[in-house]
Amino acid sequence: MLTIFCIPKPFEGHNGMIQINAIRSWTKLYPTCEIFLCSNDPKLPEIATALGVKFVSDISTNEFGTPVLRSVFKKVMNEASFPLLCYVNADIIFFNDLLNSVKRIPYNKFLAIGRRTNLHIDYFINYNEVDWETKLKNYAQKNGSFAGIDWIDFFVFPLDINIDEFPPFIVGRPRWDNWFIINARKHGYQVIDITLSCMVVHENHGYSHIPKARGKLWEGPESLYNQKLFIDAIGDNPSSGSLYDSTKILTKHMIFPAISPKHLLQRFITASLFIPRLHNIRRIIILLKDKIKLVTLKTKN
């Protein structure tokens, strides 16, 4: 049904443990999914074999050895056995409600995204337990927390999605995910928020792997590089490409239009990026939003 692919970090220390947790959760999905690990790590074939999954290597990288997403997407698209793909970060745990949600999407051209639940896990999950899924979901509900609407860690889409304009973003740094959502909107895809129909767990981790990091999290030269690619492709519009760009919302029982004021406003702002006659209206709206924020801050202070 689904080809899942990711770009893992080296399988070392805590990162190695949470990646094994994540990948093993994907192998438990039913119907069985095709899984690709994508990396130039010479240890990858051995690791993939041990986990019972496939691998893709010979990936384009930058000067720091960080993979270029476009290269990975194209390689997996050439080798995928299923008509639907799922790109996911290698620290994300899936449950079978993901597949149940995807089955219920009634569109051929779609991009499914959702919010993740952040959770600290410092142990190998025992997937041999019959009730591992129930236990982990309950633990996440009690101890986890929702990430913001801009933190998109998984994308489900058809194999023939248009990525011809995919800039050479590098993995694990900001803005490429925002571009991917905007590109889907530009080409007429339904963007579907499946947060309410399935739980997706993100295993918390550090960011010591970022080359020449400064500040906190992912900041550094690679972050600036992705940011420049985004501005060159889209423009300097930090609010575009989030869950509020969703056109539909999928719950456990139904699918309905995303028509809240925040959704409608965000979709208009994003549409104005590729519809020239809306540019001036977008500038006015953004200016008004900034003034409202300023007034709100002054009122609070």
Amino acid at 30: Y
Mean pLDDT of 5-12: 95
pLDDT at 103 over 50: yes
Q: Residue 81: what pLDDT?
A: 97
DSSP β-ladder status, 117-119 and 145-146 = antiparallel
The pLDDT of residue 207? 47
Q: Residue 262 has which token pair?
A: 């925040």
Q: How confident is the model at residue 299 (pLDDT cuts 50, 70, 90)?
A: low
**268-271, long-range: CB within 8 Å, 24+ apart, which pairs?**
269/237, 269/239, 269/240, 270/182, 270/185, 270/240, 270/241, 270/245, 271/185
Confidence of residue 210 (pLDDT cuts 50, 70, 90): very low
Q: In the prediction, which pLDDT does 217 show?
A: 46
Task: Return the structure tokens found at 38.
Answer: 């994508």
Give 128's DSSP letter: T
Tokens in use for 63?
């000067």
pLDDT given at position 78: 96
The answer to whether residue 297 scores a pLDDT higher than 60 is no
Please say if the pLDDT value at position 266 is more than 80.
yes
Residue 174: predicted pLDDT = 87
DSSP letter at 33 equals: P
Of the pLDDT bands very low, low, confident and very high (cuts 50, 70, 90), residue 211 is very low
pLDDT for 53 beyond 80: yes
Written as six digits, the tokens of 156 are 């489900």
The answer to whether residues 266 and 240 touch, using CB atoms and an 8 Å cutoff, is: yes
**Token couple for 11:** 């399988």
pLDDT at residue number 82? 97
pLDDT reported for residue 298? 55
Q: Is the pLDDT of residue 188 over 70?
A: yes
Q: Is the pLDDT confidence value at 144 over 50? A: yes
- Looking up tokens 């056109």 gives 247
What is the C-alpha separation between 172 and 139, in angstroms, rounded? 27
DSSP strands (E only) in the chain: 2-6, 34-38, 54-56, 84-88, 92-93, 110-113, 117-119, 145-146, 154-158, 190-193, 201-203, 248-250, 255-257
Residue with tokens 């889907």: 184
Nearest C-alpha neighbor of 89 from the set 38, 28, 138 = 38
Residue 216 pLDDT exceeds 80 = no
Task: Output the average pLDDT for the chain.
Answer: 89
125: pLDDT strictly greater than 70: yes
183 or 275, higher pLDDT: 183
List all residues 6 or more positions away from 259 whose beta carbon is below 8 Å from its beta carbon. Answer: none
Please report, as a single letter, which amino acid is at residue 128.
N
At residue 85, does pLDDT exceed 50?
yes
Check residue 205 and give its pLDDT: 65
Report the pLDDT value the prediction gives residue 234, as an integer from 0 to 100: 84
Confidence of residue 301 (pLDDT cuts 50, 70, 90): low
Rounded mean pLDDT, 153-179: 92
Give the contacts of 116 (CB within 8 A, at least 6 positions apart).
92, 146, 147, 151, 153, 154, 200, 201, 202
Model pTM score: 0.89
* Radius of gyration in angstroms for the set of CA atoms belonging to the chain, rounded to a whole number: 19
Q: Other CB atoms closer than 10 Å to residue 208's CB: what's the count?
A: 9
297/16: higher pLDDT: 16
